[in-house]
A and B are shown apart, each in its own frame.
Chain A
Amino acid sequence: MTHSYIDDIVVYGPGFMAAAWLVLWLTVVTIIVSWIFGLAAALAQRSDWIWVRGLAAFYVWFIRGTPALIQIFIVYFGLPQVGIRLSPFSAGVIALGINSGAYVAEIIRAGLSAIHKGQMESSFALGFSRAQTMRTIILPQVLRIILPAITNEAISTLKNTSLLSTITVVELTLYAQTLISATFRPFDFYIAVAVIYLVLTTLLTQLANWLERRYARLS
């Protein structure tokens, strides 16, 4: 039995494209959620209040110590038991965002500790508030430092969206599985999925490289 791969592209291509778009969309939303959680947790770890620091430490400890798949199941299958029902998409980006946020928090924390304390001092001495100092002096510098690490994390996030196939989000992996159960061609379709992930992660890396070069030129 032979296949024309050209025909395959015509038949399955649009479906894969749609699934790939969904992966990108999931990734972008998840990254936004993860940065919000990550930044909040990183700043919380420097709070004056011990319970705020404790909460942030617990968050990072819990997330990094449990599998992402279990976290996804807790949000999608677990929360309905206490009355919180989320769509697969929402549950997916929330679970993955919270998961990635813990790693982002650690990245930001390391970036913050790389900034000389004199940077904050000179800002305070001019009369800037803590929030103004963070926003205009510290975080722009941190962003430059953490760009490579944050790119790695974004790539992980993109790949982790495949876990959402387990909660009925029809992204690339689940889409391929549906086709496989109809066609019995697991090798072809899993390879196709791998290639598409590879294209997406490569694009993401290129984007990050471009950003890094741009920033390097600035300083």
Chain B
Amino acid sequence: MISAPAPLLRLNGIRKSFGALEVLKGISLDVDQGEVVSIIGASGSGKSTFLRTINAMELPQAGSIDFGNFSFDWSARAGRRPTAQQLQKLRTEIGMVFQSFNLWPHMTVLQNVIHGPVMLRKMKKADAINDADALLDRIGLLEKRDAYPAKLSGGQQQRVAIARALAMKPKLMLFDEVTSALDPELVQEVLTLMASLAAEGMTMLLVTHEIAFARDVSDRVLFFDQGVIAEQGRPDQVLRNPDSPRLRQFLHRILHNDTLREADR
């Protein structure tokens, strides 16, 4: 008998309020090793906040997280409530990529990529550079290794940001609307890179407005609405035959905009 392997990530009852506004109303989610989960929803639905609670960039007020050797309970007064050091450790194993790239402008592309491995993983600089070169080659930007971020296009910067996160050899990658700030013609190069990561078996959670990408690449799609997961399932089922009227409305609005954008070009 083979028992089902434990999920890589288990979130239970995650709650988060900003003042009186309850943004996350008790969200539970299991993510298996190698699974690609897309999160869609209107702005203000809590999807980005949720993503940011996973690596504790936002601290939830209640709920628990199990990830690898980490087991934290945000509701507890003491005991399993994580310390700052534990959170830093957790974050070294979860890569995150942001909408606005956030490369460090005073460092070259190479320095951006090796900074984490050298300082946090205590890698030898030469080894870190070897790894970084391989990563940069893979994202097609090896010839830019000594350039400063300001000299790169948005798409290139975002690919470097992905490489910077991958250099830490994370077990899980979080993508927070990583193509939203890009010019339309630069979106594809980033999505292609993400698709290849997914194909290699990287476990990924992504908040996205790219419905076609979510449909083609993810194993599961979650629809966030008013702080809860309103609907979830396989992409074809959720995106083609949505149950709830709100998801139907949302998809209609977003796909309509996409069509307009296509027509614009």
- Which residues of A come within 8 Å of B, CB atoms? 116, 118-119, 121-129, 132, 136-137, 140-141, 144, 218-219
Contacts and interface: CB of A to CB of B under 8 A. Distances in A.
B168 A126 contact: yes
B30 to A, nearest CB: 23
Contacts of B90: 127
Contacts of B91: 124-127
Contacts of A125: 55, 57, 91, 94-96, 98, 165
Contacts of A136: 115, 119
B106 A144 contact: yes
B88 interface: yes
Nearest to B93: A127
A12 to B, nearest CB: 47
Pick from A123, A125, A127 the residue with the most CB of B within 10 Å.
Answer: A125
A140 B106 contact: yes
29 contacts: A118-B100, A118-B102, A119-B104, A121-B57, A121-B98, A122-B98, A122-B161, A122-B164, A125-B55, A125-B57, A125-B95, A125-B96, A126-B91, A126-B92, A126-B116, A126-B120, A126-B165, A126-B168, A127-B89, A127-B90, A127-B91, A127-B92, A127-B116, A127-B120, A128-B88, A144-B106, A218-B106, A218-B148, A219-B106
A136 B112 CA distance: 11
B92 A119 contact: no
A123 B89 CA distance: 13
Given A118-B101, A124-B91, 13 more contacts: A116-B102, A121-B98, A122-B102, A122-B161, A125-B98, A126-B92, A126-B165, A126-B168, A127-B90, A128-B119, A129-B88, A132-B119, A144-B106
Q: Main SS of the interface on chain B?
A: mixed
A219 B55 contact: no
Contacts of B116: 126-128
B201 interface: no
B168 A219 contact: no
Nearest to B85: A129
B52 to A, nearest CB: 9
Interface in B115-131: 115-116, 119-120
A127 B168 contact: yes
A122 B115 CA distance: 12
Interface in B69-100: 84, 88-92, 94-96, 98, 100
Nearest to B120: A127
B87 to A, nearest CB: 9
A136 B57 CA distance: 20
Q: Which 8 A-B pairs have the closest CB atoms?
A: A127-B92, A122-B102, A118-B102, A127-B91, A125-B96, A126-B116, A127-B88, A219-B148
A125 B57 CA distance: 7
B140 interface: no
A161 to B, nearest CB: 33
B164 A126 contact: yes
A124 B119 contact: no
Contacts of A124: 57, 91
B150 interface: yes
Nearest to A143: B106
